[in-house]
Structure 1
Amino acid sequence: MTDFKDRERAEEAKFTFDNENAFRIIARRNRLLGQWAAQKMQLTPEETESYAKAVVQADFEEAGDEDVIRKLIGDLTAAGVEIDEAQVRQALSEKAVEARRQLLDKL
């Protein structure tokens, strides 16, 4: 019975660890994406920091990435940057890889 309890605790701990890491990766990806967009909009370092935080917050509006994509396209277009959804999705994909790499380097 002890082996079963130990195994159950280990599985629960792994599940928690995996979920926390997934959340961290997405938050870091969104921050990197915000920095990418801020650079395209030629924001100051202070504005870039604020904008990156706003992109992270935008992800809490609804499940999935559509809220972030919608925010970026709207903000970039309003700033006069010519961009389409495919370019934003490509950046999202690239920043996800970068965020995962950064997080794994910390572990």
Structure 2
Amino acid sequence: MTMADRERDFENRFIHDQELKFRIRARRNKLAGLWAAGIIGKTGADANAYAQEIVRVDFEKPGDDDVFEHLRDDLAKAGSDLSDADIRAKLVELLQQAEREVMAE
């Protein structure tokens, strides 16, 4: 195996890993949107639309703050008494679930 082959393999692995991370985060965000939709009182198509909105929100800023802030604000408007720690813990839990689901595909 030449050095060029090794570089190509490394680049391909890196791209694959980045795509996998993206899919896991998108899945987590969809799951978080569906979770929050249930608390807010959205069902069916409205819940799915809200979940897609949460997926799109993740593109606003790097990191999880955009998703967290959007969920926190929407849940507070709906009268939820979930704390910031509760929401962040749920995001961690859903990230683990999303990872299991994506890896099983």
Residues in 1 aligned to 2:83 and 2:54: alpha-carbon distance in whole angstroms: 17
Paired residue secondary structure (1:98) = helix
- Partner residue, 2:68: 69
User: Do residues 18 (structure 1) and 17 (structure 2) align?
Assistant: yes
- Superposed, 1:17-96 pairs within 5 Å as 17-96=16-95
Q: Which stretches in structure 1 are left out of the alignment for 5+ residues?
A: none
| Poorly superposed stretches of 4+, deviation over 4 Å | none
Tell me which amino acid in the other structure corresponds to 1:50: A
Q: Which stretches in structure 2 are left out of the alignment for 5+ residues?
A: none
Calculate the TM-score normalised by the size of structure 2: 0.96
* Residues matched between the structures, number: 105
Q: CA deviation at 1:41?
A: 1.2
Please list the CA deviations of residues 24-65 of structure 1 after superposition, one character each: whole Å capped at 9, or x if unmatched: 110100000001101111212111100000101111110010
Calculate the TM-score normalised by the size of structure 1: 0.94
* Percent of aligned positions that are identical: 40
Paired residue secondary structure (1:61) = coil
Pairwise CA RMSD: 0.9
Paired residue secondary structure (1:23) = helix
Residues in 2 aligned to 1:41 and 1:30: alpha-carbon distance in whole angstroms: 16
Paired residue secondary structure (1:37) = helix
